[in-house]
Amino acid sequence: MTNLATLYVVATPLGHLGDLSPRAAEILRSVGVVAAEDTRRTRQLLTHLGASPRLISYHAHSDPDRLDTLLAILAEGRDVALVSDAGTPGISDPGAALVRAVWDGGGRVIPVPGPSAVATALSAAGFGADRFLFLGFVPRKGPDRQRLLRIVAESEWTVVLFEAANRVVDLLNDLVALAGPDRQGAVARELTKMYEEIRRGTLAELAGHYAAGEPRGEVTLVIEGVHRRDEGASADDLAAGRALAARLLEEGTTAKDAVRILMAQLGLPRNTAYQLVMEAR
**pLDDT tens-digit map of 138-181:** 999 999 999 999 999 989 899 999 999 999 999 999 999 998 89
DSSP 227: P
Q: By the 8 A CB rule, do 162 and 136 touch?
A: yes
Residue 180 placed within a domain = yes
27 vs 7, 92, 169, 214, CA distance in Å? Answer: 11, 23, 40, 39
> How far is 180 from 205, CA to CA, in rounded Å?
11
Residues 160 and 94 in one domain: no
In angstroms, how far is the first alpha carbon of the chain from the final one? 66
Residues 109 and 209 in one domain: no
> How far is 122 from 162, CA to CA, in rounded Å?
12
In this prediction, residue 232 carries a pLDDT of 60
Residues 73 and 84 in one domain: yes
**If DSSP codes are grouped into helix, strand and coil, which group holds residue 109?**
strand
Residues 32 and 126 in one domain: no
Q: What is the pLDDT along the chain (281 residues), one digit of tens a residue?
A: 457 899 999 999 999 999 999 999 999 999 999 999 999 999 999 999 999 999 999 998 899 899 999 999 999 999 999 999 999 998 888 889 999 999 999 999 999 999 999 999 999 999 988 899 999 999 999 999 999 999 999 898 999 999 999 999 999 999 999 988 989 999 999 999 999 999 999 999 999 999 999 999 999 999 999 865 445 667 888 899 999 999 999 999 998 888 888 888 888 887 788 889 988 98
Q: Which of these, 174, 206, 159, lies nearest to 187 by C-alpha position?
A: 206
Residues 133 and 111 in one domain: no
Q: Max Cα separation, the chain?
A: 68
The CA radius of gyration of the chain, in Å to the nearest whole number, is 22
Q: What are phi and psi of 188, to 5 degrees?
A: -115, 120
**Domain count of the chain?**
3
Residue 70, judged by CB atoms within 10 A of its CB (0-12, 13-18, 19+), counts as buried
Residues 107 and 16 in one domain: yes
Last residue of a domain, one of 115, 141, 176: 115
In this prediction, residue 52 carries a pLDDT of 95
Last residue of a domain, one of 195, 223, 251: 223
Q: Domain range holding 250?
A: 235-280
Residue 229 placed within a domain = no
Last residue of a domain, one of 223, 244, 263: 223
In this prediction, residue 2 carries a pLDDT of 57
Q: Which of these, 108, 117, 121, lies nearest to 82 by C-alpha position?
A: 108
In this prediction, residue 230 carries a pLDDT of 41
Residue 1 placed within a domain = no
Residue 228 placed within a domain = no
Residue 152, judged by CB atoms within 10 A of its CB (0-12, 13-18, 19+), counts as buried
